[in-house]
Amino acid sequence: MQIKCSSCSIPFSMNKEEIAKMAALFKENPTVHYDAHCPKCRKATKITKRQFALNPIYKKMLEE
């Protein structure tokens, strides 16, 4: 999953473990957000369930 840092604007990707964590989090509580930490500036970029579900593969993970 490609994310653009909301602070320094660099794109970075999330690993499988983080994706799995996010899916579990959103399944449990659809109104929360996930904080993805930028590898460069270490600031958190918020990811909502809606953004996560834009990717059909991840959307499927939420339905499992």
Can you give the binding site for Zn ion, defined by CB under 5 A?
Answer: 5, 7-8, 38, 40-41
Specify the residue, 6 or 29, whose C-beta has the smaller distance to Zn ion.
Answer: 6
Run of H or E residues at 45: strand 44-48
Specify the residue, 9 or 29, whose C-beta has the smaller distance to Zn ion.
Answer: 9
Q: How far is the CB of 62 from Zn ion (least distance, A)?
A: 26
Specify the residue, 27 or 43, whose C-beta has the smaller distance to Zn ion.
Answer: 43
41's CB contacts (< 8 A; 6+ apart) are 5, 7, 8, 10
Query: Which residues partner with 3 through β-bridges?
Result: 12
